[in-house]
Structure 1
């Protein structure tokens, strides 16, 4: 039996897995801090709920990855401080991040998170790491669907130019 044929947790992580998980963790911590800041700016209650769910989901991912890295003797990236709570009315109008911009940033973060998860899955040779990122990917896909629905319902979605079949005009 080879070195990679037993319990995945007993297998060493390769450099790509180490870098991918470490980098994902650094990004997740920064993203959580960003969502916490955006929560101060959000006025829409549905958007606030999705931001809170995103923070909780991100914190759960952080716990899982920190455990994995610690078990493998890998140092952790720094955690940004939690931003202070602010009342929306105390933020000057010109300095506020509008709800549609927060929702658009959330959509972009979800999309880049899906790519990061897919990349980690593809480069993993340890099944437990691939499965962990597969779980994260499914959760992000579900979150993305919620954000898309929110953007459509609130009228915040800015679609790209829509393609119409040129044969529709030739009847």
Structure 2
């Protein structure tokens, strides 16, 4: 039996898989800290719930990524400390992120996360890693749909120019 046959957990990671998972973990660590700060700035309760959902989703991903990297002898990236809770009223108005700004930033992160997951899926040769990232991708797509709905419902979505002049049907 060859080195890439049998149980995927017995197969070595290749450098792309190591880099993709390590970078994903490092990015999530930074995003979690940033989103904890966003929670301090957010005023809209629906947005706060989605920020908390995003943080929990990244923490869940991190648990899987850490286990994978540790099992393969890869050192973990540093993580910033948890952000303290602050009252929105204590943040000066000129220094606050607005709810639409926060929502746009998170939506952009989700879009980038979908691309990153697709990249790891495409370069993976271990089936377990491809499947794990397929699940991450699905979760991000579902979360992205929630963000899109929130942005539409709150009037925060700024669409590109809409193509409304369509040729008439014959």
Is the shorter-chain TM-score for this pair beyond 0.5, marking a shared fold?
yes
For residues 165 and 94 of structure 2, what CA distance do their matches in structure 1 show?
A: 42
Q: Does 1:12 align with 2:12?
A: yes
Cα shift at 1:165: 3.9
What is the TM-score when the length of structure 1 is the normalising length? Answer: 0.97
Structure 1 counterpart of 2:127: 127
For residues 33 and 132 of structure 1, what CA distance do their matches in structure 2 show?
A: 24
Structure 1 counterpart of 2:146: 146
Aligned length: 170
What is the TM-score when the length of structure 2 is the normalising length? Answer: 0.97
Q: Does 1:65 align with 2:48?
A: no
CA-based RMSD of the aligned residues comes to 1.2
For residues 166 and 29 of structure 1, what CA distance do their matches in structure 2 show?
A: 46
Structure 2 counterpart of 1:85: 85
Q: Gapped runs of 5+ residues in structure 2? A: none
For residues 5 and 93 of structure 1, what CA distance do their matches in structure 2 show?
A: 59
SS at match of 1:151: helix
Alignment of 1:91-130 (within 5 A): 91-130=91-130
Q: Gapped runs of 5+ residues in structure 1? A: none
For residues 80 and 90 of structure 2, what CA distance do their matches in structure 1 show?
A: 23
Q: Does 1:137 align with 2:137?
A: yes
Structure 2 counterpart of 1:52: 52
Point out the more displaced range, 157-166 or 66-75: 157-166
